[in-house]
Amino acid sequence: MSAERSALSDADRKLSRVRVPFVIGQVVVLIGLLVAGLGPMLWLLKAAISPTQDSIRSPLGWFPSGRVEWQNLGTAWQQGHIGYYLGNTAYIAAGTAAVSLIVCTTAGYVLSVLRPRWGVLLSAAILATLFVPHIVSLVPLYLTVLKLPLVHTNLTNTFWAVWLPPAASAFNVLIVKRFFDSIPREYFEAARIDGAGSLRVFTSIVLPLSRPILGVVVLLSIISSWKDYLWPLLVLTNPDLQPVSVALPKIAKVTELNIQLAGLFLALLIPVLLFLVFQRAFLRGVGLSGGIKA
Amino acid sequence: MLFALPVLLVFLVFSWGPIVKGLVMSLQQTNLVDPVKWVGLENFRYVLTDPGVGQASLNTLWFTLLALLFGFPVPVLLAMFLSELRGRSWLYTTLAYLPVITPPVVAILLWRFFYDPSPTGMFNSILGTVGLGPYLWLDSPSSAMPSIVLEATWAGAGNAVIIYLAALTSVRADLYEAAELDGAGVVRRVWHVMLPHLRGVLLLMLLLQVIGTMQLFTEPLLFTGGGPQGSTMTILLLIYNYAFVNGDYGAATALSVLLALVLAVLSAVFQLATRGWSTE
């Protein structure tokens, strides 16, 4: 992430009055980040395999009673159904990403490549929603899902209730459209001359060329759906469909602490592993989101 | 035209529709059982005279203020520092980003345990080793909100760090070189090149953070449920209670519209006031 040079020049870095405080600073910051970033996670791992009394009486101790309870993880997985809820969460996240992809790629294609005359209007109407705080539509959105206009279907307790609303994301449409804008228009013209229709141009030119940005959209929508709590709490009242975020607070109320902490650890494990694997794409996505908002 | 169908349908049903419906509903009395009744500004009058709303507004403002004090400077300084690192900076950014990856519910349940008010609680035993505490954390009306802010800051700082870092990588190297040739020391290079470059992003993040913190919900709900003694009841928690506990959808949307108005006015004023500053 570093530029060719920053405020400190190579010459500065050799000066001891710059180098010494800088190195000390690095150590201090690294320790701080280790404690704040990794600390809670490592502690949770330790607590997940500790007896409840150890975690309560001396949270800082290293297995004070000498007992290590690996079975906590299994118990949380089985008895707390953490595995099942994680499955729901993954299913919700995958569906959200898929629906979002369909919406923002087709929208980007219309606005960036096909450019119909009413495209400007559509573009403005989508952009305008960026400026309306989500809170205005929380309650009416809930009522919409309760009884879909015209078709009068109740979407609550179906996964459509969590898949569809996040797809109305002006931000996703915007970043995808911007990416499509950067594809040279000669490609489309050449394809047209070769006799390709709109659908063909979309599936064999635009989509394959856009893999990086589509990856970012998928990652961002998976993260936000994985983190979401309020919306699934409202629209998925059937415990069999709930994601792990909604299930955990309920499990916490009725389960012993060691099993509860084991459950938290399991729920944390997957996002962290995913992050470590896709780290670059994650951080680029976030940087991008800041760039766009700016 | 076929390609526009998904976006049109989804936005119509789940974005444009609900926004309009929200404005309309704030003028109606509706509980989904009785027939809908037009009540004009009655919902707004009801909401504005509810003493709970005043308390929740003050709590929300208090949270926003605390969040800015705790949460705004740290990521900026951290990003400025990290942008000077060569080589191992990925390790630092990864560590800084781990709390952001933690699902909020997991983080809150974990921190609720950390905030155990007994002397053997996690934070109390750490502070106890240097002779401080024990503190009540979430159990006292005066420290509950700062405790929530502390957790929220921990959870959100990494995001801001990455955004500032991305902005800093776009500082042109020749600006630093020119400053250096003019004899500017490290401190002056940071002050006159780095900070001015960040100004636009800083202002934007400031606004986004204020808007974000004013919509605080999950933390107070799961940490304290709005207590103790209403000290962590926020506007959004109140909206949730109006709608999904009392079934008064009119009051809930009226309060939502008011909050949205405040946020809109705030952004507009902020944009106008800072228009001259953010250009480089």
Check CB contact of B243 with chain A, cutoff 8 Å: yes
Structure tokens at A255: 């389960």
Chain A residues near residue B114 by CB distance under 8 angstroms: 40
Chain B residues near residue A138 by CB distance under 8 angstroms: 239, 243, 256
Q: Do residue B3 and residue A12 have CB atoms under 8 angstroms apart?
A: no
Helices and strands (H, E) in chain A, number of each type: 18, 0
> Using CA atoms, how far apart are residues A273 and A246, in angstroms rounded to an integer?
21
- Environment class of B138 (CB within 10 Å of its CB; exposed 0-12, middle 13-18, buried 19+): buried
Give how far Cα A68 sits from Cα of A33, A50, A73, A189, B37, Å.
Answer: 28, 5, 11, 66, 62
The residue in chain B having the minimum alpha-carbon distance to the alpha carbon of residue A146 is B32
Residue closest to A292 by CA, chosen among A170, A181, A175? A175
Q: Do residue A37 and residue B8 have CB atoms under 8 angstroms apart?
A: no
The one-character DSSP state at B139 is G
Instruction: State the average pLDDT over residues B214-237.
Output: 89
Q: Please provide the DSSP assignment of A90-140 as one string.
A: HHHHHHHHHHHHHHHHHHHIIIIII--TTHHHHHHHHHHGGGS-THHHHHH
Q: Above 70 in pLDDT, residue B198?
A: yes
Would you state the pLDDT for residue A21? 84
Q: Which of B14, B25, B78, B258 to probe the A interface (max A CBs under 10 A)?
A: B14
Q: Do residue B102 and residue A132 have CB atoms under 8 angstroms apart?
A: no
Instruction: State the average pLDDT over residues B244-253.
Output: 90
What is the number of other CB atoms lying within 10 angstroms of the CB of residue A155?
19
Q: Do residue A294 and residue B193 have CB atoms under 8 angstroms apart?
A: no
Would you state the pLDDT for residue A4? 55
> Using CA atoms, how far apart are residues A142 and A130, in angstroms rounded to an integer?
19
Q: What is the mean pLDDT of each run of 10 residues along chain A (294 residues)?
A: 62 78 88 92 90 81 80 87 93 96 94 90 91 85 89 90 93 91 90 89 90 88 90 94 93 87 91 86 71 45
The residue in chain A having the minimum alpha-carbon distance to the alpha carbon of residue B202 is A294
> Using CA atoms, how far apart are residues B84 and B165, in angstroms rounded to an integer?
10
Would you state the pLDDT for residue A132? 83
ipTM: 0.87
Encode pLDDT of B3-14 as tens digits: 888 999 999 999
- The enclosing H or E element of A14 equals helix A10-14
Would you state the pLDDT for residue A1? 40
What is the number of other CB atoms lying within 10 angstroms of the CB of residue A14?
9
Structure tokens at A175: 């970043």
Check CB contact of A234 with chain B, cutoff 8 Å: yes
Q: Do residue B120 and residue A56 have CB atoms under 8 angstroms apart?
A: yes
Would you state the pLDDT for residue B278? 54
Would you state the pLDDT for residue A293? 46
Instruction: State the average pLDDT over residues B18-34.
Output: 86
The one-character DSSP state at B274 is T
Check CB contact of A109 with chain B, cutoff 8 Å: yes
Check CB contact of A173 with chain B, cutoff 8 Å: yes
The residue in chain B having the minimum alpha-carbon distance to the alpha carbon of residue A135 is B256
Q: Above 60 in pLDDT, residue B83?
A: yes
Check CB contact of B25 with chain A, cutoff 8 Å: yes
Q: Above 90 in pLDDT, residue B230?
A: no
Per the model's pLDDT, the better-predicted residue between B280 and B73 turns out to be B73
Residue closest to A138 by CA, chosen among B246, B207, B243? B243
Would you state the pLDDT for residue B240? 92
Q: How many CB pairs under 8 A join A and B?
A: 287
Q: Do residue A282 and residue B121 have CB atoms under 8 angstroms apart?
A: no
Q: Is the pTM of this model over 0.90?
A: no
Are B201 and B167 in contact by the 8 Å Cβ rule? The answer is yes
Q: Do residue B257 and residue A136 have CB atoms under 8 angstroms apart?
A: yes
The one-character DSSP state at B141 is T
β-bridge mates for residue A25, sequence order:
none
Would you state the pLDDT for residue B238? 93
Chain B residues near residue A135 by CB distance under 8 angstroms: 215, 236, 239, 256, 259-260, 263
Q: What confidence tier does B280 reach under pLDDT thresholds 50, 70, 90? A: very low
Q: Do residue B83 and residue A290 have CB atoms under 8 angstroms apart?
A: no
Q: Do residue A139 and residue B121 have CB atoms under 8 angstroms apart?
A: no
- Mark A229-243 as b/e (b = at least 16 C-beta within 10 Å): bbbbbbbbeeeebbb
Are B73 and A24 in contact by the 8 Å Cβ rule? The answer is no
Encode pLDDT of B119-150 as tens digits: 888 888 888 888 887 888 898 888 899 999 99
